[in-house]
Amino acid sequence: MSDFWRNTIKTEKNSKGKVKLSFKRILKIGFHLWRQFDDPYYSGFAAQIAYYFFMASIPMLIVLSQLLGLFDISIDFVRDWLNEHLSTQMSSTLGGLFTASSAAITNFFMIILALWSASSLSFSLSRLTTYTLSNGKYRFNFFTERLKAIPLAMLSIIVIALALIVYVYGEIIALKIFHSKYMLTFLSTIRTPMLAAFFCIAILSNYYLLPRIRVPISAVFPGAVVATIGIVLVTWVYSLFTITSTNHNILYGAFSNIVALMLWFYLISWVLCIGMMFNKSWDIHMRRGRLTPEKIKEYLVNQYGEKGEHMYSKLMIGDYDMTNRELDSIAVKMSRRFDPGYNSKREREIRELEEQQRVWERVEKERIAEIERKMAEENANGNIK
């Protein structure tokens, strides 16, 4: 069990307000993040998210080119960005995708592929964010979360398209609305910060909407800022690498461009993981008290209203959940029925857990009784005095 789930720190304020950020607290947050890397779930998940990034990126760019074409907007700015940030050969390979001939069937297929790939990406991020908030205690439901990921994927595609349109054609739009050259100059100056703000809003939306546990926006905002800064830095370093490195294709040959692109996606995936992990590290060491185990339970109970307590016990993994046969997954239920000997083995394990549970409950009752006895003795002694 990680430090986070053991931590029982409550909200702490000083005389002037919230706890202040200091070098010591930054150091604690950094080492707390480092300790989270001991969890193998994150190392494997970054690779999974990178794969879905790769799967979703190409069809999403093609769909984006088709959408911009409906408004008679050129996609040349994407080619310019590729030429600026990627190697010449990789930029040429990706740029060739936008010169493909248009066909209704192909466009429809690409839209379906983009939605499936993007929903897979949203689905992976959903599991990552929920796992982080519950520290692995959440019971995932594949079909429910997969269906939820589809509209979020569509929203992501729309947000990306709008962000690019505003970034590239914002000056023209502003000139038509405000009719002022001063406003045009001002918007041109803040165009890059606006794009960074768009990315921050997109990441914040994912951190807030994707988890099955609905937490306050303020609880995931620090990680969104860290992830935005991290993505900007990773992209800048990666662009320097592709520009300065001339022998990166020696090892992988013709596949070097794909490997380099996957490396970029992998680093971005790690940044998204670190951003979500940063939220709980910040909550612990800055004494915010928004993501403690008690608060997570409170959020879930409030989220489902009258059925809150029931849904909490159903969605969160308990120490003795195996004894509740109603919580068995489809795989376990089918194994009980068709796998010879599995049912008897499962029942034997349940009996052992039930015995452990009875022992634990007895010890807990004895502990509570002892505390009550001591308190009664102290009260009696106080009354005598």
Among 277, 267, 260, 169, residue whose Cα is nearest residue 220: 277
Instruction: Indicate whether 52 and 189 sit together in one domain.
Output: yes
- Is 316 within a domain? no
What is residue 9's three-state secondary structure? coil
Q: What percent of the chain has pLDDT over 90?
A: 5
Structural contact between residues 53 and 269, judged by C-beta atoms closer than 8 angstroms: yes
Q: What percent of the chain has pLDDT over 70?
A: 67
On the question of pLDDT at 172 being above 80, the answer is no
Q: Give the span between the Cα atoms of 274 and 270, in whole angstroms.
A: 6
- Is 310 within a domain? no
Among 129, 122, 125, 199, residue whose Cα is nearest residue 153: 122
From the CA atom positions of the chain, what is the Rg in Å?
A: 26
Could you tell me which residue, 330 or 204, shows the higher pLDDT?
A: 204
- Is 194 within a domain? yes
The strand ranges marked E within the chain are 13-14, 17-18
Per-residue pLDDT, 279 = 92
User: How far from chain centre, in Å, is Cα 302?
Assistant: 22
Instruction: Indicate whether 206 and 289 sit together in one domain.
Output: yes
Instruction: Indicate whether 332 and 298 sit together in one domain.
Output: no
Helix (H) or strand (E) holding 248: none
Per-residue pLDDT, 278 = 93
Instruction: Indicate whether 182 and 286 sit together in one domain.
Output: yes
8-15: average pLDDT:
46
- Rounded to the nearest 5°, which phi and psi values hold at 369? -65, -40
Could you tell me which residue, 337 or 318, shows the higher pLDDT?
A: 337
On the question of pLDDT at 226 being above 90, the answer is yes
- Helices of type H across 98-141: 104-134
- Of the three residues 269, 302, 335, the one that is the final residue of a domain is 302
- Is 362 within a domain? yes
Instruction: Indicate whether 330 and 285 sit together in one domain.
Output: no
- Is 219 within a domain? yes
Structural contact between residues 44 and 12, judged by C-beta atoms closer than 8 angstroms: no
On the question of pLDDT at 229 being above 80, the answer is yes
Six token digits for residue 310: 């029931």
* Highest averaged pLDDT of the listed ranges 142-156, 164-178, 210-224, 329-343: 210-224
Instruction: Indicate whether 355 and 265 sit together in one domain.
Output: no
Per-residue pLDDT, 221 = 93
Instruction: Indicate whether 227 and 347 sit together in one domain.
Output: no
Instruction: Indicate whether 260 and 184 sit together in one domain.
Output: yes
- Of the three residues 267, 302, 337, the one that is the final residue of a domain is 302
User: How far from chain centre, in Å, is Cα 29?
Assistant: 19
Structural domain including 380 reads 322-384
Residue type (1 letter), 215? V
Instruction: Indicate whether 60 and 174 sit together in one domain.
Output: yes
- Is 277 within a domain? yes
- Is 317 within a domain? no
Six token digits for residue 317: 């993994």
Q: Give the span between the Cα atoms of 287 and 9, in whole angstroms.
A: 7
Instruction: Indicate whether 203 and 341 sit together in one domain.
Output: no
Per-residue pLDDT, 4 = 44
User: Per-residue b/e over 155-171, b at no fewer than 16 CB within 10 Å?
Assistant: bbbebbbebbbbbbebb
pTM: 0.70
Tens digit of each residue's pLDDT (9 = 90 or more) over 273-297: 899 999 989 998 888 888 888 888 8
Instruction: Indicate whether 88 and 204 sit together in one domain.
Output: yes
Instruction: Indicate whether 31 and 65 sit together in one domain.
Output: yes
Q: What is the count of structural domains for the chain? A: 2
**Range from 38-47, 109-118, 356-365, 367-376 carrying the lowest mean pLDDT:** 109-118
- Is 16 within a domain? no
Helix (H) or strand (E) holding 384: helix 342-384
- Of the three residues 302, 337, 359, the one that is the final residue of a domain is 302
- How many CB atoms are located within 10 Å of the residue 234 CB? 16
On the question of pLDDT at 132 being above 70, the answer is yes
